[in-house]
Structure 1
Amino acid sequence: MNNVKDIHIGTLIKQIVLEDKIKISRICTFLNATEAEINDMYNSESLDSTILLRWSKLLEYDLFRIFSQHLILYSPPSKRERENVKKKSTVPQFRKNIYTKELIDYIIEIVIKGEMSRKEVVQEYGIPKTTLYRWLVKYSPKINEQFSK
Structure 2
Amino acid sequence: MESFRNIHIGNCINRRIKETETDISRLCNFFKLPETVIQEMLVQESIDSEFLLKWSKVLDYDFFRLYSQHLILYSPPTSSEYQVKIKNKKYTSPQFKKSLYTREIIDFILEQLTSREKTEQQIISDYKIPKSTLHRWKIKYKKI
**Superposition TM-score, scaled by structure 2 size:** 0.90
Which string of whole-angstrom CA distances, capped at 9 and with x for unpartnered residues, describes residues 30-80 of structure 1?
A: 11211011011001111111110000001100000000011111110134x
> After the TM superposition, which of the residue ranges 58-67 and 112-121 deviates more from structure 2?
112-121
The runs of at least 4 consecutive aligned structure 1 residues that moved more than 6 Å come to none
Structure 2 unaligned regions, length at least 5 = none
Residue type of the partner of 2:63? L
> Between the two proteins, what is the percent identity of the paired residues?
47
Higher helix fraction (1 or 2): 1
Partner of 2:50: 50
Q: 1:113 to 1:43 in 2, by over 3 A?
A: closer
Q: Aligned ranges for residues 1-149 of structure 1 at < 5 Å?
A: 1-79=1-79, 83-85=82-84, 86=87, 87-140=89-142, 143=143
Report the Cα distance in structure 1 between the residues aligned to 2:136 and 2:59, rounded to whole angstroms: 33
Shift of 1:137: 1.3
Query: What are the ranges of 5 or more consecutive residues in structure 1 without an aligned counterpart?
Result: 145-149
Read off the aligned partner of 1:27 and give its amino acid letter: L
Aligned length: 141
